[in-house]
Amino acid sequence: MARLEEIPYGNPFIFEDSSFTLPDFGERHVDTLVSGATLMVGGQTTGVRVFVNVTDPGASGVVVADVDLQKERTAAGPVRENAPLTANVTDVTSQSVVLIAAESPKIVLSRGGVVYVCHSVESGSLEGASPVSPFEELDQRQGNEQKIRNLIAYVRSSLDIPYREQLADRLKFLLEVTKEEAPEELEQFPESLRNFVVFLRTAPLLKYPDVVVSPSGNIRTQWQAALNKHFAAEFLPTDQAAFVVFSPYQKGTKRVSGIVPISELLEAVEPQNVLSWASE
Partner 1 sequence: MKGDFVPDTDHVSRYCSRSRLTEEGKVTAAAFQLKEHEQSISVNWLEFLSQPNRQAEIAEVRKVLTSNRITLRRTGRIAVLNVGETRNHVYSATHPDSKDLHILHDPLPNDSSHSGIFGVMMDDQLIPELIVQTVKEIHPALD
**Residue 122 contacts residue 26 (beta carbons within 8 Å):** no
Residue 242 Cβ vs partner 1, minimum distance, rounded to whole Å: 5
Residue 203 Cβ vs partner 1, minimum distance, rounded to whole Å: 18
Residues 18-37 that bind partner 1 (CB under 8 A): none
Q: Which is nearer to partner 1, 140 or 222 (by Cβ)?
A: 222
Q: Which is nearer to partner 1, 7 or 242 (by Cβ)?
A: 242
76 contacts partner 1 (rule: CB under 8 A): no
Q: Which is nearer to partner 1, 119 or 230 (by Cβ)?
A: 230
- DSSP H or E stretch at residue 141: helix 134-158
147 contacts partner 1 (rule: CB under 8 A): no
**Residue 25 contacts residue 34 (beta carbons within 8 Å):** no
- With a CB cutoff of 8 Å and minimum separation 6, the contacts of 127 are none
149 contacts partner 1 (rule: CB under 8 A): no
Q: Which is nearer to partner 1, 55 or 178 (by Cβ)?
A: 178
247 contacts partner 1 (rule: CB under 8 A): no
**Residue 70 contacts residue 94 (beta carbons within 8 Å):** yes
Using CB under 8 A as the binding criterion, the count of chain residues that bind partner 1 stands at 26
253 contacts partner 1 (rule: CB under 8 A): yes
Report the residue from 109, 118, 242, 278 that binds partner 1 according to the rule CB under 8 A. 242
Report the residue from 60, 128, 181, 250 that binds partner 1 according to the rule CB under 8 A. 181
C-alpha span between 22 and 237 (Å, rounded): 11
C-alpha span between 87 and 116 (Å, rounded): 10
Report the residue from 120, 222, 238, 263 that binds partner 1 according to the rule CB under 8 A. 222
Report the residue from 58, 215, 250, 251 that binds partner 1 according to the rule CB under 8 A. 215
How far, in Å, are 8, 31, 35, 63, 120 from residue 86 at the CA level?
A: 21, 13, 18, 6, 11
Q: For the chain, first and last CA: distance in Å?
A: 25
**Residue 241 contacts residue 209 (beta carbons within 8 Å):** no
Residue whose C-alpha is closest to residue 154's, from 187, 115, 194: 194
Using CB under 8 A as the criterion, which residues of the chain lie in contact with partner 1 when the complex forms? Answer: 170, 174, 177-178, 181-182, 185, 210, 212-216, 220, 222, 227, 230, 232, 234, 242-244, 246, 253, 255, 257
